[in-house]
Amino acid sequence: PIVRGNYIAWYDNSSGSTNIVLYDIAAGDVKDVINCDAKTTIPYGSTGFKPALSEKYVAWVEEDDGRVYYYDIEAEDPVGPVSTSMATQAWPSLYGSIIVWEDYRHGGVNPDIYMADLDNPSAEETQITSDTGEQVSPVISGSIIAWEDKRVPARSIFMYDLSVREELSVVESADNYDEHLYPAVSGNTIVWQRGSGTNSNIYIFAYEPGAPVEPVAMSIGVDPSTPTIAVNDTVTFEATVRNQFGDQMTGVEIAWTSDNETVGTVDDTGLFTAHAEGTADVTATAGGVSGSATVTESSLLLPGARRRSPQRQAAYPGVRQSPSTQKSRSDRF
């Protein structure tokens, strides 16, 4: 279900087709059952999405032709498609009379975000994005439109401010496995899910028009990543913190921990001291983001001798560092 102001809408397939039920909260009763056959999943995939709703309109994707249609709540009347384009459409979102959706008129691998004003159906619709990467899952609130964007793989979050006609990057993926999904907007606040696994997290961004975007720690790399040292020897770890734009941050306070203090301990500066044979994971944490390294203590090495392997990629919350986590368009969530 979806709720906006005095109305709730949801899918209902009890008739054999997927109708949309519109419920009036103040009246305490169903206002209408919209006779349609709504498509509830994304094109070329199985991810589901809700009907779109505002105080004025309901919108959905029709199963028959894959286009967005809308219903006028005051008139209690299905109006028709939102666009004259016959291309596949998906994921509508409404704010008042303004509707946005993902549109495939430029090809199945290049969906873009489009917008229209349902109060002025004769007006020309507006193309919000034009980048050759995928822009999908749009949401709108007030003057803010947000969406998932693959111009920076895996999936980043971008936004567009209608009041100043400006596109901004909210957060960019740190690497090909770093997914930012399910944006939602209320006023100037954008939230989304980072990662698609069991350890995914929720992030928030407060947009201040005209104000510089505050950098936020999004990833930490630890070097060396897998050193081998002798018992009673030491190794100093260094943490590299990067923000949502991929830039290195300085002056960030790092908390260091060792998961096996019998094998070795680490102090506040990242200096690790080996106490016994075995392995220990050393973790650097800042602002809720962590990166780690694995150190091995071996009696086969003399103190001062050290084996060192190349730096590895940082670990990110909720993201597994393996190709199996990379999503295709057909199963992006």
Question: Is residue 323, in this structure, part of any structural domain at all?
Answer: no
Residues 208 and 243 in one domain: no
Residues 224 and 173 in one domain: no
State pLDDT tens for residues 73-93: 999 999 999 999 999 999 999
Classify burial at 156, counting beta carbons within 10 Å of its beta carbon; exposed 0-12, middle 13-18, buried 19 or more. buried
The pLDDT, as a whole number, for residue 213 is 62
Average pLDDT, the chain: 88
The pLDDT, as a whole number, for residue 325 is 37
State the CATH number of the domain containing residue 301: 2.60.40.1080
Residues 141 and 21 in one domain: yes
Q: Which residues contact 312 (CB under 8 A, 6 or more apart)?
A: 225, 226
Res. 301 pLDDT band, cuts 50 70 90: low
CA distances from 300 to 6, 229, 249, 279, 305 (A): 72, 9, 38, 14, 10
Where a domain ends, among 214, 234, 265? 214
- Give the SS3 label for residue 279: strand
Average pLDDT over residues 167-190: 94
Where a domain ends, among 187, 214, 241? 214
Beta-strand relationship, 289-298 and 228-230: parallel
Res. 298 pLDDT band, cuts 50 70 90: confident
CA distances from 210 to 158, 163, 213 (A): 16, 11, 9
Res. 22 pLDDT band, cuts 50 70 90: very high
Q: Which residues contact 211 (CB under 8 A, 6 or more apart)?
A: none
Question: Is residue 91, in this structure, part of any structural domain at all?
Answer: yes
State pLDDT tens for residues 231-272: 999 999 999 998 766 688 999 999 999 999 999 999 999 999
CA distances from 41 to 100, 156, 181 (A): 17, 21, 16
**Number of domains the chain contains:** 2
Res. 212 pLDDT band, cuts 50 70 90: low
Q: What is the domain extent for residue 253? A: 218-307
Residues 18 and 141 in one domain: yes
- Give the SS3 label for residue 308: coil
Per residue, the 3-state secondary structure of 116-140, as one string, reads EECCCCCCCCEECCCCCCCEEEEEE
Question: Is residue 21, in this structure, part of any structural domain at all?
Answer: yes
Identify whether 323 is preceded by a cis peptide bond (ω within 30 of 0).
no
Distance CA 136, CA 122 (A): 25
Residues 183 and 262 in one domain: no
